[in-house]
Amino acid sequence: MKKTGLFLIIAVIQFLTVSLLNAKTIEDSRIKMLNGEYAKILDFNSDGPMIINFWTTW
């Protein structure tokens, strides 16, 4: 059990390290808002990470 736990911890740390090193920035593109206006994605960007949730409205 200890070997499995140690393996999982090492695997998670390695995965997180690789994903942080490969982090990319988003392009400055426009998105259409629900009210019909356009906004730049980078206008919403701050110093920290940004989560973009793609949702559909029918």
50 three-class SS: coil
Contact of 42 with 52, CB cutoff 8 Å: no
Q: pLDDT over 90 for what percent of the chain?
A: 12
pTM of the shown model: 0.38
pLDDT at 35: 92
What does the alpha-carbon distance between residue 13 and residue 57 come to, in Å, rounded to a whole number?
Answer: 38
Whether 32 and 26 have beta carbons less than 8 Å apart is answered as no
Tens-digit pLDDT profile for residues 12-27: 888 887 766 766 677 7
pLDDT in tens, 31-41: 888 899 998 88
b/e per residue 27-40 (b: at least 16 CB within 10 A): eeeeeeeeeeeeee
